[in-house]
Chain A
Amino acid sequence: MARKQVDLLQGTLDLLVLKSLAPGPLHGLGVSHRIDQITKGTFKVKPGSLFPALHRMEEAGWLQSSWGESENNRRAKYYRLTAAGRRQLNTETEDWQRISLAITTALKTT
């Protein structure tokens, strides 16, 4: 499989951020690493899109942030999902599955 990097659609980034935070709180770099990990390197999230997304989702009430200690004793801002964020993750996952199924089906038909 060719390791090609893909540009992210807006909704997709939100979904990936929510997904990456589902297991537990992470700081910004952690989120970016986690996405890299779970998409097996397909998506590389740059800070230029990561931070606006994190702050937008925080304002929307999906995320909450707090300052904490990083693994090497550095002060970093951690994000975690709120209840609303968890609901949002479920909705978006369902939507995504419906859409991808539909598109896959559509593409299969000749």
Chain B
Amino acid sequence: MPLIPRLTSLWRNLFHKDRVDQEFTEEIRAYLDMLTETKIRQGLTPREARRNALIELGGVEQVHEKVREVRMGQLMETAWRDVRLGVRALVHSPIFSVVTVLSLALGIGANTAIFSVVNGLLLRPLPYPESEQIVHVWHTPPQQSFPGLDKFSVSPANYVDWKAQSSAFEQMAVYTDWGFSLSTSNDPLSLIGAVVSSDFFSVLRTNAMQGRTFTTDEEQPGRDQVVVIGHGLWQRAFGADPNIIGQSLTINSRSFTVVGIMPAGFEFPREAELWVPLAWNDNDRKIRSMHDYLVIARLKQNVSLEQAQAEMSTISTRLEQQYPEENSGWGAVVIPLRDDLVGDIRTALLVLFCAVGFVLLIACANVANLMLARGANRQREIAVRIALGAGRARLIRQLLTESVLLGVTGGVLGLLLAVWGSRMLVQLGSLPNTGDIGIDTWALGFTLLVSFAAGIIIGIVPALQFTRTNLSDTLKEGSGRTGGSSIKQHTRKALVISEVALSLVLLIGAGLMIRSFWKLQNVDPGFDTSNALTMSVVLNFIRYPEPHQRLAFVDRAIEQIRAVPGVVSVGTTTRIPLSGGGSTQPFTIEGRPAGTIAEQPMAQTRYISPDYFPAIGIPLRQGRFFSDQDRDNSVPVIIISEAMARRFWPGENPIGKRVTPSFHPEPGPREIVGVVGDVKTSGLDVDMSAMMYLPFKQLAVPFMSFVVRTSSNPESLVQPVSKAIYSIDKEQALTDVQTMDQVLTKSLSDRRFNMTLLLAFAGVALVLAAVGVYGVMNYTVTLRRRELGIRMALGARRMDVLRLVMGQGLTLTLIGVAAGLISAYALTRLMASLLYGVTATDYLTFVSVPVVLIAVGLVASYVPARRATRVNPTIALRAE
């Protein structure tokens, strides 16, 4: 029976059993009725006729049962026979089977692992009910001030207006992530959490597992001392105490009452473990220029993203006209929550998914080649079977059963690899939502599908080839000297050429990533990353309400840390370079037109202690550093970065000029006393931006990071330095304790992850392609032994033979390389956003990678060529 009807029949018998049964019941009823009628015509009374007919039938159920057995039996029998034959054939050639299964397992395993990540991040819905309706609403900043930035956080007043004026959203909530220190009987626990408005949980449609979330009342200052804790924290810190609700906790030295526990898995925003209400007073609500908050909203059921976007744009335009001073140039953009969370990782994942698919294709091509080579030995078996009357379709089916068996076995092994692989991916890459990545039903289905597909891909070419043999030729040829038909050789060569082409594309992709990474690593961050330790502190307003108290804390901390043996210098800043973020504010230059705030130029702002520059290793270019004499009652001073000096005072000496940071609480111009080197603030791949450094002592903000320069390995000083800070305040939690090298490494982790994976895939591809070239050349040599023997008998030198064989290998490689270059040229531009400092068609990569591949191809064909030179003419000729 042809394949398609067979499959539909299998489908029917397995999955529509009821219908099949019912049909048979109907069939048998018709039979009975017709038999009864016949008997009536023969002269029986209706009753007698019916009775006779039933007796003749001999029990409806028995007949039905027999029919059922037959239907399934027949089907299972042929399928089972094919499987048995397949297994037998595979067991007969164990090395072939093992090699094949292993290469497929690798290929399929890698695919499943990457799929599990793609599935977890891009395909599966977020773990909130109707999560596709949830969006983030961001500001779009004025481009002249924030070139290249396409989204920006929101100010309280704008949020209040958005919420009041928009109708596209069911709910709109505002939140910001926040660090908390939870006092315990031991060292304080440093936690990530969020300050949220009461609508926050209903936007996400998630209720507390126990207790409740926040009420609107609790958005009022004074009533906001309640906290909702995460499931993980509840188990970790409170031993899953069922009576925790109603108890009071000390968080940031304030007392909070626990009102709810969130269900397991709820960790929004990223890894948050506790939530407290956002309580704005009337003044807070009027702030329009401080952009500190994120806005999350749920679209109404019948409102599209475009409609919501159109409405938000209208509202923004209106607000721009209403508050030109603060709002001109500020728009709004609505982004689906998932897109926002997944962000840049999408391109990288798709590139990797493509790459890993290529690897599997190459592996399949290799296996298909192996099967073709092996088929040479099976050709006689197949020819005999055809001669004995086996149909072509039946043979193809059997050969395909065999290759699908290989594919599925590879798939099962691959699944094991993938379980391990996906865990490694999660560890290696800093992926969002990692809880969702793993082997689930979808990944299983994907693996099954890929295994079948791989089985069919590796089997179809050989199956079609073998069954198209010229019977008499095959049978006439002696044993072992078969299969050299030119068609088959063409197929094998075509397979190898595509392998070379595919691996070239991968290698070029990997090459571009390596070049980018290499360029990045050579980028000077602008400071000295070695031997430096950093840690952050958020002082809370309850215990340190006054600036002089914060100053005192920092002074004492610096003093204590400096006393630790091994510490060279210590300074503080408000944001460590390379860690991203940091505040930015507009400024005006004395003697130049000020304009509105929206028109003013922007610069990143840091508040630092006098020793910050020596501690982190930023060089002084002009003027002086801050000193202890720059205090709150002395002349307001400022230090700027070279980039700022170049941009605003080109060809001038900026020292002595005066600028006014517009948001600084104490208005008035500040004198530029120094110019320091530029640093990379957000990442090595982001351009140096204008920076303003202000003395911490002239504005004591409550959050700071310590930078400690050490004389030896900074990791050995983590304990003593932490102790030094705890000795001043044992309730003060430290966060982000890491060496500067770790900060640097972390800032490159995404790129390293992508590069490592792509490189690994490309490496595997290269090896597979080399094996492919080797295989096909080796086989060619076997086939041409006689010819080579004759040539050598006629006086060909070994060099000639070597050149002949290697020339053939080289031709294959070159065709593959040419095809690969064209594909790479078309494909690599898709990964342009992942590159740094190189174009997607970087000529160095496009030249050097083919050279490597050609060299590998030459080596791979050298081995068989060597073998060819050792052909003994007499033996080769006699063998015929």
Contacts and interface: CB of A to CB of B under 8 A. Distances in A.
Interface of A: 27-29, 46-48, 51-53, 55-56, 59-61, 70, 72, 74-77, 84
A84 B56 CA distance: 31
A27 B31 contact: yes
Contacts of A48: 57-59, 62-63, 66
B63 A59 contact: no
B185 interface: no
Contact of B58 (A28, A46, A72, A84): A46
A62 B717 CA distance: 84
Contacts of B23: 77
A28 B75 contact: no
Nearest to B23: A77
Given A55-B67, A60-B74, A61-B1, A74 B34 contact: yes
A49 B75 CA distance: 19
A61 B397 CA distance: 15
Given A29-B35, A47-B31, A61-B6, 19 more contacts: A27-B30, A27-B34, A29-B31, A46-B57, A47-B63, A48-B62, A48-B63, A51-B63, A52-B67, A55-B67, A56-B71, A59-B9, A59-B71, A70-B34, A74-B33, A75-B26, A77-B26, A77-B27, A77-B30
B57 A29 contact: no
Nearest to B37: A72
Contacts of B59: 48
B75 to A, nearest CB: 6
Contact of A29 (B9, B34, B62, B69): B34
Nearest to A59: B74
B70 interface: yes
A84 to B, nearest CB: 7
Contacts of A52: 63, 66-67, 69-70
A70 B34 CA distance: 9
Interface in B809-854: none
Assign chain B's interface to a size class: 20 to 34
A10 to B, nearest CB: 12
Of all A-B residue pairs in the complex, the 6 with the closest CB atoms, nearest first, are A61-B1, A59-B74, A56-B70, A52-B66, A76-B30, A77-B27
Contacts of B73: 56
11 contacts: A28-B27, A29-B35, A46-B56, A48-B62, A48-B63, A55-B70, A56-B70, A56-B71, A61-B6, A72-B34, A76-B31
Contacts of A75: 26, 30
Contacts of A47: 28, 31, 56-58, 63
B38 interface: yes
Nearest to B35: A29
Contact of A51 (B35, B56, B66, B74): B66
B5 interface: yes
B2 interface: yes
Nearest to A44: B56
Interface in B1-23: 1-2, 5-6, 9, 23
Interface in B51-67: 56-59, 62-63, 66-67
A29 B29 CA distance: 11
A75 B56 CA distance: 21
Contacts of B56: 46-47
Given A52-B67, A55-B70, A74-B33, A29 B27 contact: no
Contacts of B75: 59
Contacts of B69: 52
Contacts of A76: 27, 30-31, 34
Interface string B760-791: 00000000000000000000000000000000
Among A46, A47, A52, A55, chain B packs the most CB atoms within 10 A around the CB of A47
A103 B75 CA distance: 34
